Structure 1
């Protein structure tokens, strides 16, 4: 019996009470089974491909992306943690007087605006992590402990009075040198007198700027230090001396020490550059470093405020500290008038002519600039940073006084990098009030923020630039980009003639020129070949610009054995270091404090100009 099944759409044969499909029905279901099987196979393949792609992507991320990201984030968080720890210490030490150190955001700033500015730059930061990466330190670490033969100071032969000269960092270097001189001539050092008559007219005393008690206590095993000359010696005749510049131990032992036979008090009329950069006993060099990087720390209230500014700056993300040396004094001193009006040039010339301790009066501005002896203008700094690849959202701390020309001269840099931040933006007027009328103390705040920055860039190789560079080398060779001003002027002049414009070609050239000028380890540079007499000392790299080899040693093996480079302990390592001079391609130039031009030449400089 055959009946029609409406559901199956086919005939069904009923035999003996059981239903069996007709051939048409069996064919129908075989077709549907094949379709169902094909769909299943496609789904399985899709699932398998998805799993394969997921595993592949995970492998790529773990191999290339996450390590770099982890490195960047970890270093950033470690730095923040370190700064938080320091800040906590300062807050504990001075909680009764400096309650404002607990406030991370200044009262006059919006927390919301800071957060949004920081978030806006996060993606760009992560995409340009190499811009913030420090150069390899090659296992160099501070090694400033005295030798086994080093002894505590013996009986003092007399008192050394010191009158420092110059700005903050010129005075700091001079104080460190005078500690070493006191050790050499076996003198009791009276706390130095700071310069109150220079261009800055600052009335600060030693204890206003530096931690006087810590200074005396820390150096107790090196030099005897007293706060004041004993009353019984206040009116005695003093030997007033202008110590010879860049002098060695023999000069002080043979020409200065014999003065003790007639005098109880020797007064050093100046302190800057009175000690040689090189060829001094290792213990004297290490003493200079112990003073500069430890004993001569800033007064607690300056340290606390400086670290507070660092914390607030970090709230914007990783930042550049730009030492924009374009204040009136340096523009007048250098004689550089490029981009200035006739009235401005005449004003600066008058300042230079009327400043008696600036020896050079007639300066050819064009020649100065072509030699790389002029500070970069704010506009040129913007082109330079853009050429290096730093995005417009980069937070930039301006470590400077009042820029000559004011906001008008800063306009082009500000339009390219709108996130320019000064002390006055990070702190309220009330917080800055104790420091505002003291240029030396304001400079100390800039120094702290610059040393702690992710990247430091000086527009001119003055005393602060050199001091910060050396301090950052001492602390682990933190990224410090030293502009090759001579090479940059060559490029800027091509731009002015219309032969070059901002873009990839310019950026590639700037990046290549500065690829080996970012603070990696190298030995301190000696005098320029061909110079003679005392001029050789003038062309040497300053001791505090680069404390290697005297105060930095390379960790050789897992047992932490240390060998001091250049002292003869390990000649193989010392010779090897010469092959690491990755920054010797070019080294810039400067005008020293006496106004004498000094150009540090290299044979490779022209080869770096790619255009």
Structure 2
């Protein structure tokens, strides 16, 4: 959602359009995402109740000098013929200035059917890149009730001391989608396969779980996470916030992690049922609470490189490269398998390898990764690191008083 919204802000600027606040799509997997419309400058972009998740007034006012944003399509345009367009993925300035802008000759409203990855990560003008930064990290804040609840959760976590936010993607939907069943019973594996087979828009049905795992495509299990944290040197009294939905199998799969790290907390443990009641039936609002607590943590550790993990990593980079440990799942599972087979011992032997493996995977400043060598066409753009995973140096500007030293700071 965040990335799509911010890209549409930039696209509206590029094609000189007025942006219509998006409606959140009730039919999506989340049961609340977004679609867009654009109105030509005197034209528009479309989105359900944006204010359920984000602070709509602040979003509009913060970007007023960059893009005109309106809450609804004007009544006099409600009946006009709209151009419904699937914008080409990872497109640059020429595509929008030429192909998309040419639609204004025949239409006053363009509806963007999708907003994910519609804009290139690189090779865009500095002002467009900086606008994406302003939109994502300054203008796009959560609704007041979400922000207030998020702050309360952060304060309660910090009362235990500096904490780790663990994005534990060991949830039924993720395991079913990825086909990862390592450590599960036959009955559990069968249940996940049935979910995958019954979900029409998941195209791949037959998945070799062990092959997936060996390639690093599976989220780490709670037991593997326990081994990772121990090897990285985190003591047993480390407070850990579980940023996730319901963990598949519950306590049956959380036992080892809970034994080693008893201070496992979640929004459900930190807040009362009454405090969470207004958010419980809204998946994106619950995810927003996890997002806030994750961004504010001393350390963030995602067990899978999904959309939320990437968004949080990028936000933490923007705030000063706060520590984010991104596990090397492909190499970690090899080490864990050696431990299981008795060919490697936990303690110093495992810790030495794990620490060495993650020295350069902790969110330190680095250039955004370009395309993978040898890739061509759309695969080339797809292989680039997302702008929202590593928004720097595009989001940096030099301080006037520090030009001689080259000191930079994030755009405010």
Instruction: Classify the TM-score, shorter chain.
Output: over 0.9
**Judging changes above 3 Å, is the alpha-carbon distance between structure 1 residues 360 and 254 closer, same or farther for their aligned structure 2 residues?**
farther
Give the direction of change, closer, same or farther, for the CA distance of 1:561–1:197 in structure 2 (3 Å limit).
Answer: farther
| Cross-structure match for 1:327 | 171
How do residues 63-142 of structure 1 correspond to structure 2 at under 5 angstroms? none
Paired position in structure 1 for 2:142: 298
Q: CA deviation at 1:360?
A: 2.7
Q: Give the Cα–Cα distance (whole angstroms) in 1 for the partners of residues 397 and 195 of structure 2.
A: 45
Within 2, Cα distance between the matches of 1:207 and 1:368? 39
Point out where structure 1 has 5 or more consecutive residues left out of the alignment: 1-170, 566-611
Q: What's the C-alpha RMSD, in Å, of the aligned pairs?
A: 1.8
Q: What secondary structure does 1:390 align onto? A: coil
Q: 2:282 aligned with 1:452, yes or no?
A: no
CA shift for structure 1 position 409: 1.1
1:560–1:197 distance in 2 versus 1, CA, 3 Å? farther
Shift of residue 557, structure 1, vs aligned partner: 7.6
How is 1:125-524 mapped onto 2 (pairs within 5 angstroms)? 171-202=1-32, 205-524=49-368
Q: 1:265 to 1:487 in 2, by over 3 A?
A: same
Residue 553 of structure 1: how far off its partner (Å)? 4.6
Q: Is the 8 A contact 1:555 1:561 kept in 2?
A: no
Cα distance between partner residues in 2 of 1:359 and 1:243: 22
Taking a change above 3 Å as real, the CA distance of residues 223 and 558 of structure 1, as seen in their structure-2 partners, is closer
* In 1: Cα distance, 2:406 partner to 2:126 partner: 15
Provide the secondary structure at the position in 1 that maps to 2:277.
Answer: helix
What is the CA–CA distance in structure 1 between the aligned matches of 2:295 and 2:78, rounded to whole Å?
40
| Change in 2 beyond 3 A, CA 1:555/1:389 | farther
Per-residue CA distance 1:459-491 (angstroms, 9 max, x = gap): 111111111111111101111111010110110
Cα distance in 2 for partners of 1:372, 1:304 equals 37
Contact 2:399 2:408 in 1 (8 A): no
Does 2:389 align with 1:545?
yes
SS in 2 for 1:507: helix
C-alpha distance in structure 2 between counterparts of 1:470 and 1:200, whole Å = 22
- Using the alignment, how far apart are the partners of 2:122 and 2:315 within structure 1? 18
Quote the offset at 1:350 in angstroms.
Answer: 2.3
Helix, strand or coil: the match of 1:317? coil
Question: Once the 2 structures are TM-superposed, how far is the Cα of residue 413 of structure 1 from its aligned partner?
Answer: 0.8
Match of 1:580 in 2: none
TM-score, length basis structure 1:
0.63
Max radius of gyration: which structure?
1
